[in-house]
Chain A
């Protein structure tokens, strides 16, 4: 697929909403350089329940393209506003499915400044698992401290999950037993032919 000239945000959104698969595909695959200004307009398309299946998917993929583009070495000036735009999508006014994706996008490019906002979601029942994974991936002490603090306050399975994140970061957590080898799921299938 040929590289398109850098699009304006308006051109990108118009193409993403197009019913032509090829035009839409070219648009999201070349969305990277459009940058931070496109993040919220794309999120609106992705979050629109009335969007055609492939339109919503294309919008999300365009967001991912931007994240991968600004994550390249030496592109900090482009990355910062994209991180800010993504953080603004973590509010309750956005659907949980979109916010999950946004957390994973942030896991690839967010720095320590983003940690407090992401850590707030460790208290959100629906999003806390994705927030935990996001923080596990963000380098530095701030993310580690956020995971530690959340574990101190958490109970039950989520406490065990936070402990696994800390272990993945090289922290010993002897007081929280791992449940990773504990089987839980039964089948109703019986061995065929056994009397």
Chain B
């Protein structure tokens, strides 16, 4: 079979064959949801057919999770894709024989039978792949941070809105139980008006053993790994995982974990639609090596109406957990009547017992309790309701990370117009709101 275009009929024939294999392996029959649904959105009991783009690192975790759901009859995993053949082969073992394998994500998003894609590629791919998937009518779960530039974020929002697809950004901390408790505790005024949120996060690494450029390994498609980034020779220090420490592809801790910790902050402050008016960063970057993201960093974001300050502090001041253990990242919420600590902010999020144990009095404000980050996404796909970390919210958080890094590399304070979604009074910074992309990997 050609591994690119798969007709509905051939897919169903394949699905029948896969069902026999699946039965032997204890995996469910693969039937795309749109075969079951006559028109419109998939129904509550219909399986979504999923494609996975990027199956290493977090992508392996997502695939593992989705294979579990497939075994429980909730979804079909129909396609997996990676630019690294070794990772692709390992993922194929995990996904099962019914999943087609691809190097080029465009094969996945142009398949008619696929309802939704999970994108777990390096950050520099998130914008382009999300926009392309939305343009092909696919619902999207995209790893955080949502985007690497301000203009990518705008394009992602526009594509999701125009094509009416549900996008969930992978800042899953919002969907945890303790995030619900912390949010409920804060919005009910238990520490008064919150005026400052101060995050802490351990420092980034420097590369003390840099290596020269070299030929890429034969199992890696370097052109596709780079995608929209400008061309440069392969270097071992770009991947895997360590792409985080490059400003272009990962943006450092602030764009990695910051997209979790500050996601919680914007959520708890009910500030998803708000943006800072000023951003001022200081920090130090590695003195040598390829990695160029900040080792330590402090960014002060000033919000107006309501007035509050968000501080990203790397490493900042870690607060011991109630069991005495330390956690590498989190945030302290300072109000005019007290404070609340939220540790973590990603899949591991914990708050103080005073918030967990708080019993809302009659008339207290109730807040949304996510059934789980993927479940919330599925709910968004089926009902059209906004997801808990929808693309507008995801871009809003990513913009904080992007603006912090821009202030750092430019060495100056930035002014931001939230209504216009642009940097004010700084031509160079305005130009850096977008990065022209290498053809054909363009928005």
Q: Which residues on A are within 8 Å of B, measured CB to CB?
A: 1, 21-22, 24-26, 29, 32, 53-54, 57-58, 68-69, 71-73, 100, 104, 107-109, 129-130, 132-134, 136-139, 157-158, 160-161, 164-165, 167-168, 179-195
| Complex Cα spacing A161 to B438, Å | 8
| Complex Cα spacing A186 to B107, Å | 9
* Given contacts A180-B132, A180-B442, A184-B104, A191 and B97 within 8 Å (CB-CB): yes
Nearest-CB residue, chain B, relative to A184 = B104
Contacts of A22 in B (CB 8 A): 287
Q: Is the interface of A mostly helix, strand, loop or mixed?
A: helix
Cβ contact within 8 Å between A192 and B436: no
| Complex Cα spacing A43 to B431, Å | 24
Cβ contact within 8 Å between A192 and B97: yes
* Given contacts A57-B288, A168-B442, A68 and B104 within 8 Å (CB-CB): no
Cβ contact within 8 Å between B97 and A193: yes
Cβ contact within 8 Å between B428 and A189: no
Cβ contact within 8 Å between B287 and A187: no
Which one of A24, A57, A158, A167 has the highest number of Cβ atoms from chain B below 10 Å of its Cβ? Answer: A57
Q: Is the interface of B mostly helix, strand, loop or mixed?
A: loop
| Complex Cα spacing A66 to B25, Å | 61
Cβ contact within 8 Å between A73 and B425: yes
Which one of B88, B132, B290 has the highest number of Cβ atoms from chain A below 10 Å of its Cβ? Answer: B88
Cβ contact within 8 Å between A191 and B432: no
Interface string of B408-419 (1 = CB under 8 A from A): 011110000000
Classify chain B's interface size: 35 or more
Cβ contact within 8 Å between B104 and A183: yes
Cβ contact within 8 Å between A68 and B224: no
* Given contacts A73-B427, A183-B4, A192 and B442 within 8 Å (CB-CB): no
* Given contacts A182-B106, A192-B93, A129 and B21 within 8 Å (CB-CB): no
Contacts of B88 in A (CB 8 A): 187, 189
| Complex Cα spacing A181 to B437, Å | 15
Contacts of A109 in B (CB 8 A): 428
- Does B192 sit at the interface, judged by CB under 8 A? no
A-B contact pairs, 8 of them (CB 8 A): A25-B288, A68-B410, A136-B436, A164-B439, A168-B442, A184-B104, A191-B97, A194-B97
Nearest-CB residue, chain B, relative to A109 = B428
Nearest-CB residue, chain A, relative to B99 = A191
Cβ contact within 8 Å between A189 and B89: yes
Contacts of B284 in A (CB 8 A): 1
Contacts of A190 in B (CB 8 A): 92, 101
Given contacts A133-B437, A180-B441, 15 further A-B contacts (CB under 8 A): A29-B285, A29-B287, A53-B212, A69-B411, A71-B427, A71-B428, A72-B411, A137-B436, A139-B431, A157-B439, A181-B135, A192-B89, A192-B92, A193-B97, A194-B21
CB of B83, distance to nearest CB on chain A (Å)? 8
Nearest-CB residue, chain B, relative to A1 = B284
CB of A78, distance to nearest CB on chain B (Å)? 12
